[in-house]
Structure 1
Amino acid sequence: MKRTLRLIATSCLLFSATVQSTLAVTVVPEGNRNASQPGVPAASAKRTREMNTTYEAKYQKIYGLLKSDSKLRSKIASVSRTYGIDPVHVAGALIGEHTYNVDAYDRLQTYYVKAVSYLKQGLSFDYKGESIGDFVKRPQFAECNKFKDSLRLWSCRENVWDNNFRGNNIGGTSYPNNRLSAVFFQPFYAGQSFGLGQLSPLVALQMTDMVNRYSGLPKLDADHATEVYKTIMDPDLTLPYMAATLKHSIDVYRRVADLDISKNPGLTATLYNTGGADSRARTLASINAQRSANGEPLQMPEENYYGWLVNEKMDQLKALF
């Protein structure tokens, strides 16, 4: 009897160890995986030349705003605590956006003024007179109705767009070979994002349930475009959306790929820049499952040009908080 109990106990310990091993999460270390910066897209270089500036000058401008504005740093620290992330992740995303995309305004107050101006615009999200609200009622999107959370709902709608409409002629309407966010959610010009966090309206719609849950802000509705734009322009409203987006990237890499990227702001900045954290985590998980089966070491996620700069400047960013 005692021998049987020992065997059972041993089996339980082995099972427990196997489960713990299966659930083990690998911490991705700080710093860059690439010794030199990956190539910067030509569009970013062109935009910087046209603005008669340099990446270094743009970096110094956004870093200067963060360093000089204690209220902004306090807001970043506060929202980061709410979402359980290091404030350097938020600062890193701001650094990347304003170094490689648009130049930062000199004063935080300018963003508030811009936000108020959008209340007067009378914006709508549509394509050739069809609102996004009506568009997603088409039968092709019926499969998405099972999703009740905003992230999975709008992610599903993006997939339906890519698989059914993008670059195709449907019912006599020709749809551009472009992202859903560029076709329906940018009423001024393609490639547009706004505000301190340079968030796209579609990302805001995806993250609105999480922000409602963590920060208590009202949920956004695609049929109320003006409120969406005000949200991504107002720093007090957009910072929670930035933090939610960054938190989601950390969470999905841990859950799907068994990788903890919370110690590497260059990686979260990369995902903030590229989007698609879910699909990228799934792809990496698949690659590492095969590598593990072959007895090979795990492949670590790598930063792009944008995240590389964030990691390169990490000492300066940490000094802010």
Structure 2
Amino acid sequence: MRHSIVLSALIAIGLVFQASAATHVPPGNRNEAQPPIPRGSAVRTNANKTTYDRKFEKVRTLLETDRRLQQKIKSTAKAYGVDPIHIVGAIVGEHTYNVDAYDHLQTYYVKAVSYLKSSFTFSHNGELVHDFISRPEFSACEDLNGSYAVWSCREQVWNQKFRGKSVGGTGYPDERFSAVFFQPFYAGQTFGIGQLNPLTALQLTDTVNKVSGYPKLSHTDPQGVYKAIMDPDVSLAYVAATLKHAIQAYRRIAGFDISSNPGVTATLYNLGDPEMRARKLASENAERKRRGEPQKLPEENYYGWLVNDRMDELQQLVARF
């Protein structure tokens, strides 16, 4: 059992599957019409008495007028080896379909500092996540190297052993690991210019530490995690790292170069778990090849569709950075 969990975790980070020469995914949408927008997004938008178009215009105005933010996006993109359009696409998608952007970048800094003064824990029903992951079910994860491997393994153990199940007389919700333990205010909560969730930040903290030099985050310091995902300087590094990771995963696992399609990278940013999605696509294409059918290209969801649909406008914006 220990060996199988370690092997599964290695697969999850793309060390087992190796793709051959990557197929270039061209710009643009594969779907003619926008895929359905989740009901939750519509409810949030209606509750705030606004529209998707208004939210898009608000975040575009922030990106268009804040020179400081433009320079931060440009320099961060260079550090992580991604085109700035991918970062812009992720930000635009999040603030169009999740929450409104703030009018000024400085507001994000103020919010970041406020979390240092807040009292909250990463826990579920009084059990700290630190104690939870110390259970024997998670022991194999400790053999792995790197924050992404370790936290991806822990997330997989949650899905296999605890999610929606009763263990030792305790019932656990049929919800994502991040929603149960890492969002103490309400499930689905994300923050900052990149609308990151804390588990994503914990997964990529080694990468951000290595590239940007920011201190590593710890699940035992939830205030520090929330400050990082609210602070635009740090948060943008995590946005870039997330996008870069998705691009690398699709090349390595599924054999696709998605670096020219910001709608696809935005989709993966929105959905998360690019390794799982790359493996699923690789498996589907292996079956299609067996049947003599053409391979299926990565597709955008409603969020990525908007990014590709507004690409000319967003490219003109980035050109002025």
Instruction: Give yes or no for TM over 0.5.
Output: yes
Kept in 2, the 8 Å contact 1:199–1:232? The answer is: yes
Letter in 2 for 1:177: D
1:201 aligns with 2:198: yes
Measured in 1, the distance between the counterparts of 2:251 and 2:119 equals 41
1:155: which partner in 2? 152
- Select between 148-157 and 90-99 the one with higher mean Cα deviation: 148-157
Runs of 4+ in 1 over 6 A off after TM superposition: none
> In structure 2, which of residues 228, 242, 254 is the aligned counterpart of residue 231 of structure 1?
228
Measured in 2, the distance between the counterparts of 1:320 and 1:50 equals 30
SS at match of 2:295: coil
2:52: which partner in 1? 55
Letter in 2 for 1:55: Y
Cα deviation for residue 142 of structure 1 reads 1.1
> In structure 2, which of residues 119, 123, 136 is the aligned counterpart of residue 122 of structure 1?
119
1:192: which partner in 2? 189
1:303: which partner in 2? 300
SS at match of 1:320: helix
1:137: which partner in 2? 134
Letter in 2 for 1:131: L
Instruction: Map 1:9-48 onto structure 2 (within 5 A).
Output: 23-48=20-45
Cα deviation for residue 182 of structure 1 reads 0.7
Letter in 2 for 1:243: A
Measured in 1, the distance between the counterparts of 2:62 and 2:92 equals 10
Measured in 2, the distance between the counterparts of 1:297 and 1:168 equals 40
2:7: which partner in 1? none
Measured in 2, the distance between the counterparts of 1:167 and 1:284 equals 26
- Select between 283-292 and 131-140 the one with higher mean Cα deviation: 283-292
- Identity across the alignment (%): 59
1:86: which partner in 2? 83
* Per-residue deviation, residues 218-277 of structure 1 (Å, max 9, x unmatched): 111000000000000000010000000000000000001110000000000000000110
Structure 1, unmatched stretches of 5+, are 1-21
Cα deviation for residue 38 of structure 1 reads 0.4
Kindly name which structure, 1 or 2, has the bigger radius of gyration based on alpha carbons.
1
- Provide TM-score, normalisation by structure 1: 0.92
Measured in 2, the distance between the counterparts of 1:218 and 1:276 equals 24
Measured in 2, the distance between the counterparts of 1:309 and 1:171 equals 46
Letter in 2 for 1:320: L
> In structure 2, which of residues 98, 102, 108 is the aligned counterpart of residue 111 of structure 1?
108
Cα deviation for residue 292 of structure 1 reads 2.4
Measured in 1, the distance between the counterparts of 2:30 and 2:216 equals 38
* Per-residue deviation, residues 186-236 of structure 1 (Å, max 9, x unmatched): 111111111111000000000101111111111110000000000000000
1:100: which partner in 2? 97
1:74 aligns with 2:71: yes
Kept in 2, the 8 Å contact 1:73–1:320? The answer is: no
Measured in 1, the distance between the counterparts of 2:183 and 2:292 equals 47
1:286: which partner in 2? 283
The two structures, once aligned, show a CA RMSD in angstroms of: 1.0
> In structure 1, which of residues 243, 254, 262 is the aligned counterpart of residue 240 of structure 2?
243
SS at match of 2:241: helix
1:164 aligns with 2:161: yes
1:173 aligns with 2:170: yes
Letter in 2 for 1:120: K
Measured in 1, the distance between the counterparts of 2:144 and 2:196 equals 23
Structure 2, unmatched stretches of 5+, are 1-18
SS at match of 2:260: coil
- Select between 261-270 and 287-296 the one with higher mean Cα deviation: 287-296
- Provide TM-score, normalisation by structure 2: 0.92
1:262: which partner in 2? 259
Letter in 1 for 2:111: K
Aligned length: 300
